[in-house]
């Protein structure tokens, strides 16, 4: 039997506008994933953050409150699972990051 459980998370995200940015807008995608004891991703949910750098602001911060749905076969074993949070990169962003390795 599979249980669906909701958890409440607060994710703090800080954004810094660089000198080359002319749009004054930044959108970021991130994910929250439930990982089993064998490091298999059981579920992954995407989320979005939007920054609007008005009035010449160069730094913004937000605190996202999310409630991802997590499937667990036994809620008593929840402490054996991990929650991973990370930025969801596009193929171009991933290629750029890989090219910067030293």
How do residues 23-50 score in pLDDT, each as one tens digit? 999 998 999 888 888 999 988 889 899 9
Distance CA 57, CA 17 (A): 8
pLDDT at 64: 85
Reported as a single tens digit per residue, the pLDDT across 44-82 is 889 899 999 998 899 999 998 888 776 777 777 778 888
Hey, how many other C-beta atoms are within 10 angstroms of the C-beta on 70?
20
User: CA–CA distance from 33 to each of 42, 64, 95 (Å)?
Assistant: 7, 16, 22
Q: What is the CA radius of gyration of the chain?
A: 17
Would the pTM count as exceeding 0.75?
no
Hey, how many other C-beta atoms are within 10 angstroms of the C-beta on 34?
22
Average pLDDT, the chain: 85
Higher pLDDT, 20 or 102: 20
Query: Of the candidates 39, 45, 51, which has an alpha carbon nearest to the alpha carbon of residue 80?
Result: 39
């Amino acid at each position: 039997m599979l249980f669906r459980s909701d958890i409440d998370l607060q994710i703090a995200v800080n954004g810094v506008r660089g000198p080359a940015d002319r749009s004054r807008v930044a959108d970021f995608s991130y994910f929250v994933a439930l990982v089993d004891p064998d490091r298999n991703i059981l579920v992954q949910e995407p989320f979005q953050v939007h920054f609007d750098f008005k009035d010449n602001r160069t730094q913004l911060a937000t605190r996202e409150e999310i409630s991802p749905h997590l499937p667990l076969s036994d809620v008593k074993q929840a402490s054996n699972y991990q929650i991973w949070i990370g930025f969801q990169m596009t193929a171009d962003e991933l290629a750029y990051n890989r090219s910067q390795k030293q």
